Structure 1
């Protein structure tokens, strides 16, 4: 069940002409008076800004009522009061008061910027965007991803804090809502918001949200447990008082100043323990515990020793969260002891600073500044993570940078995006559309041709951001592009692309190898290769033993890749076929095949039409196009490289390695365009480059690369292009059109590069 996330409790629409009763006005005024009483940590300017935001919100919500019948403004005031308890700054309190103004009252973002400044408007806008997220809390495996999505999408930590305050007040007042909505909202609170509060260390809010959600989701169970705990509390009151007196006496005898407070498990945590471990209420024996607040970190360990001398510890129930803090900054020593009457009692030892963090988490950096403005935070906070957050807040006063730092720790490499159907997917930071496509399915990745992000067309190399909705467009004839390897981030995408390219290269090389071997066998006077059947199999078996290959396909692939010379294999095959198979050579065929080809090539020819893909590569040193005289070189394991006949690299290779050259020829009807280089010398002037590009475009020539060199601009400059043309005639037409331009001094095809050592590519 997809449901828009309710930011506040359901509201009744305002009546046509709402009466503003004096009682309602007095209630709202009293509420705001209570709020201002808790703003003593702000300066006078900050309090006045909050007051202005209240007046604006009060006017905007005028006439709106909550389900309880109270004026709607009581809700924003309650949210702001919770934020004030966390000692959030004036901007956050203003945003808390205005958080429903955009969504419910038609107030625009520019209006908020004009009245209250961009930072406040951004906070309100962030809250409004989060409200529009669609959650499907029935999909429990998605809950953690949604929590991360919420955290990742908020650019400012105050957005999350205001959102949690908003949800807390809604849960407190849920009794005024229809019971039919209790289940959905409570489930959402347990799945999404309570874990976020826990992740950020807001333990008081975390426990309250859990309790309220449990109370409304399972009212009967909550009531039964509440009665059982109340009964146990009255039964064990004397026991708890006795333990507290004994502990206080032990610390007094040790000369330690400590604060001891009782702690009781929440009903929801008792229920979860009973449910997870299949226990009865009577078997849950650590309902009660004590918190010991001490002056310093060393005192925590000293207090542990005092307690272990007083009561016996339960083996395996000691945890040191001071040495190894939790991810949300929580620090304490935990130990469970066997108290009087063999009742297990948990003790937690922590310092004042740790207690602030334990109760308020991420909000602790505001609370701590408010409570200890002059203290040295390094020793007091005790946890490196929160200390770094404090440093950022004090140095930059930039909440967005502070939140970025939080996110780095919470989810260092994650980006959370949606499929069009609302499924959430986690990808590494920097992931692209192609990574997303392969994360869905390898077939989707292989067939990807285009994509839309948030409804807009986007390149496949576009990096994804939190909250993006990505729609991948596929085509049956599409295949992975080797260029994708340059920008994909996930190992899955990289391995799938490489696997597909390798498979395609092997298939194409096998076809090329069979073509080369067939032509080489014809040059030996034999019409065709032996059949791949029971009659021809013995010949193939002997040939494979000679070549060292395991299969016929592997032999053909090796020939296509240039690892084996087709003419040498053909000579051996001729011996096997004439001696073992009774095949006779045809002298006329031998003469025709051997001597109609170019005199410098020793193997049969191959026709090139551009469809060969990975098995045939066109050398970059000379960039041949149809119409050029060409030769082919079988690189060692690299496939067939095509060079122009006058290429210096090809001539050097012919001199050194002539047996690896084969005759190649252009097809009468090439199936694609081919890249080549041109050099255009122009008089520098305004718009010259644009006019040159326009002339090439009008000549139906595609520009695939351009280089203007590194030298400073002079009267004349060389523009070097790599262009895609159909053939040599097409290229010459484009060059003629360029030469007619007044600004063009010269337009020629780029000369082949001087000899380069790279065997095939030139």
Structure 2
């Protein structure tokens, strides 16, 4: 029954009778719920039905001594979850997994037993659904992130995992009456934040709406009750108007000879509440509570029906959306139009084919449920598979980062943009050219330097709009900028940028760590080349790393002290330190592994000192930096001597304050003097005194070193209106 694009296991061996010698426990074979469930399996073969019955008995026996908080026998829950899976006409393996989804987590049953009785496929599905309770996490958030990661990666291997998980969450939400109110709200919020968006992303519209509405009722029961009463009242007040619109649409379809099903639909409670909250509207101001659907036989008829409706009622400009030509990422297809109905009432109408309607309601599950949606289902399976593959690409990140990236990717709204060759890309609302570059290919994103939108050069942080033609400009030696993380919207772009920055940081940190260790060895009077290979291997083994490069990286990132590593390398605890330890030479432009402190902004010529900060590498300060005064006296072992390379040949930022008399054109004179000194102005701000006699100008300028800064200051002192100049440092590190 399963699609070839979704892996199914070969039929496993039938469970041996000894697995359930007592048969049913809490459940009776005559139980009405059990009988209804078995009767609904009429699309399976007799052999598959027997496997499912065996799974019911196995689950019933495993949960024999467990009850739900409501007092019901536990088996009622797996049976309800399996019932939802059966409604989608899924295969026997998926139904068995739904029946057994809690046995690994809540009972003494092992995965090996499941493999033995139900086959590897069912065991893998159940394992993908089980939480990671046996691992200890630092926080609930970390546990949630890791469970979510495991579920999504299992889902990427087999889509049935998430369908069972959604059915499980749906039934849990419906049976929350006996759960503590705080826990009830937490589970409902988690559903709104994670599971409902996943259902939406997979096109499971019916499930999506039910998860949203049930969660809303659990989080805000009073608001939901008031809103439901208002909806009921509105339904009565507008009944005549809605009937009139419905009849006029049907009459128009008959008039133009279009065979169509026309029916009204009511917006869900949560979507109305969200609109009221987002746009600060009262209930009476939300006019599109009701809408209409027109279901026709084929795509050409959809456009004919659209024309007929526009002839019947005037369309609202800018409110037409063609999701047939450009489907949503979850496979949804329809024509949307908003019309001005009787008495000026806005009327939203969706026009679609029967197959599109199936996909709109059940998403990827339509592939199993409706054979007439085979083509749409196959197309949706390909789209979903691509999205799931992008999840696999993000799994290198830690759990919380992966969790964040995927949540970003579960976007509700999209913009559609074009490449210069006319290819359409769907991106989340607020996406930038950087997001598009990474959507095309990782290498395009990494080498992106600029973008043209509709043939005009724009900043990379520009938000894309529907219909934009976007050209990405690349350069062979360009690299991702950490600042991009502030405005990219897709999880893929965020994940790829972070991966690149981590790799670069590790490479730079490894080089720095090697230099620090070599310096320490020189201080101990040992040449690194003289140390035998066995000693290096001993150091790697003792540190728990895989290679000496990893040890260097740890030293460069401050996770390991170079002095300790050097002594361990020499296998000696007491080696005389050289009287004058050498200094580490830096250029100041090494990148992420060596950073110049923002508080004192050291420049070549300043006496400097360095501190290894965990996760940051070497941070360089001036000797007289006020920020490090206390740390230097209390933790001298954390500081190492650093000196400038003789010719760094680069520009460095430094802050200066210039106090001037208030006079016309004085700012222009100061800026000209700085420029004539060969320095760039990075930033300028000013503040005046209450009497308006003087103004203090705060500059951040670029200089080549201390002597260059002195030259800039000399030139500024030649200006008659300049009263005072001094270099500034921050008392606290920003």
TM-score (ref. length: structure 2): 0.53
Name the SS of the counterpart of 1:346 in structure 2. strand
Q: Which residue of 1 aligns with 2:35?
A: 33
| SS of 1:69 mapped into structure 2 | coil
**Cα distance in 1, alignment partners of residues 330 and 26 from structure 2:** 41
Residue 386 of structure 1 pairs with residue 402 of structure 2: no
Matched, 1:246 2:240: no
Structure 2 Cα separation of the partners of residues 136 and 346 of structure 1: 46
Q: Match for 1:415 among 387, 395, 407?
A: 395
Query: Aligned runs of 1:552-631 on 2, under 5 Å?
Result: 556=647
Q: Deviation of residue 30 (structure 1)?
A: 2.1
* Corresponding position: 1:322 with 2:320: no
Instruction: Note the C-alpha offset of 1:384.
Output: 7.4
Question: SS where residue 130 of structure 2 aligns?
Answer: helix
- Counterpart residue number, 2:336: 334
Measured in 2, the distance between the counterparts of 1:45 and 1:217 equals 44
Q: Which residue of 1 aligns with 2:720?
A: none
Q: Tell me the SS of whatever aligns to 2:293.
A: strand
Q: Please tell me whether the aligned partners of residues 262 and 289 of structure 1 are also in contact (alpha carbons under 8 angstroms).
A: yes
Change (3 A) 1:68 1:301: same
CA contact (8 A) 1:260 1:290 kept: yes
Confirm or deny that 1:151 pairs with 2:236.
no
Give the C-alpha shift of residue 176 in structure 1.
Answer: 2.6
Q: Which residue of 2 aligns with 1:258?
A: 260
**1:446·1:497 contact (CA, 8 Å) conserved in 2?**
no
TM-superposed deviation, 1:206: 0.5
Q: Secondary structure at the match of 1:325?
A: coil
RMSD of aligned alpha carbons: 4.3
The structure-2 alpha-carbon separation of the partners of 1:461 and 1:413, relative to structure 1 and needing over 3 Å to count, comes to farther
Superposed displacement of residue 360, structure 1: 1.1
**How far is the alpha carbon of 1:45 from its aligned partner?**
1.6
Aligned pairs for 1:486-565 (under 5 A) are: 499=591, 556=647
Match of 1:366 in 2: 368
Question: Is the Cα–Cα contact under 8 Å of residues 25 and 64 in structure 2 kept in the other structure?
Answer: no
Deviation at 1:24, TM superposition (A): 5.9
The alpha-carbon distance between structure 1 residues 289 and 126, as it changes in their structure 2 partners (threshold 3 A), is same
Is structure 2 residue 296 aligned with structure 1 residue 302?
Answer: no
Q: Secondary structure at the match of 1:299?
A: helix
2:262 aligns to what SS in structure 1?
Answer: strand
Alignment of 1:49-448 (within 5 A): 49-129=51-131, 150-154=151-155, 155-368=157-370, 371-372=371-372, 377-378=374-375, 381=376, 385-386=379-380, 388=382, 404-408=385-389, 411=391, 413-415=393-395, 417-418=397-398, 437=502
TM superposition shift of 1:143? 10
Structure 1: tracts of 5 or more residues without a match: 1-19, 390-402, 463-471, 479-495, 505-509, 512-552, 559-762
SS for the counterpart of 1:177 is coil
For 1:45 and 1:334, the matched residues in 2 are separated by 46
Is the Cα–Cα contact under 8 Å of residues 76 and 97 in structure 1 kept in the other structure?
A: yes
Residue 701 of structure 1: aligned partner: none
Aligned equivalents of 1:33 and 1:149: distance in 2? 34
Q: Is the partner of 2:129 in helix, strand or coil?
A: helix
Q: Secondary structure at the match of 1:176?
A: coil
For structure 2, which runs of at least 5 residues remain unmatched after alignment?
Answer: 1-21, 406-490, 515-536, 551-556, 564-587, 597-603, 606-643, 650-734
Distance 1:447 1:328 in 2: 47
- Cα distance, 1:135 vs. partner? 11
- Corresponding residue SS for 1:174: coil
TM-superposed CA distance for 1:179, in Å, is 2.2
Larger Rg: 1
Rounded Cα–Cα distance in structure 1 between residues aligned with 2:190 and 2:393: 26
Distance in 1 (alpha carbons) for counterparts of 2:309 and 2:141: 45
Q: Quick check: 1:28–1:74 contact (8 Å CA) kept in 2? A: no
The verdict on how the C-alpha distance between 1:195 and 1:423 changes in structure 2, with shifts beyond 3 A counting, is closer
Q: Name the structure 2 match of 1:484.
A: none
Distance in structure 1 (CA, Å) of the matches to 2:138 and 2:269: 26
1:546 counterpart residue number? none
8 Å contact kept, 2:27–2:60: no
Q: What is the CA-CA distance between 1:54 and the residue it aligns to? A: 0.6
Structure 1 residue 461: deviation in Å? Answer: 9.4
What SS does the aligned partner of 2:44 have? coil
**SS of structure 1 residue aligned to 2:337:** strand
Does the Cα contact within 8 Å between 1:293 and 1:352 map onto a contact in 2? yes
The residue matched to 1:415 in structure 2 has which SS?
Answer: coil
The CA deviation at 1:151 is: 2.6
Report the 3-state secondary structure (helix = DSSP H, G, I; strand = E; otherwise coil) of the residue aligned with 2:329. coil
Partners of 1:93 and 1:281 lie apart in 2 by 42
- Structure-1 separation of matches of 2:499 and 2:257: 66
Q: TM-score, normalised by structure 1?
A: 0.51
Contact 2:364–2:381 (Cα < 8 Å) also in 1:
no
Which position in structure 2 is the counterpart of 1:475? 560
State the secondary structure of the residue aligned to 2:177.
helix
Query: 1:361: Cα distance to partner?
Result: 1.1
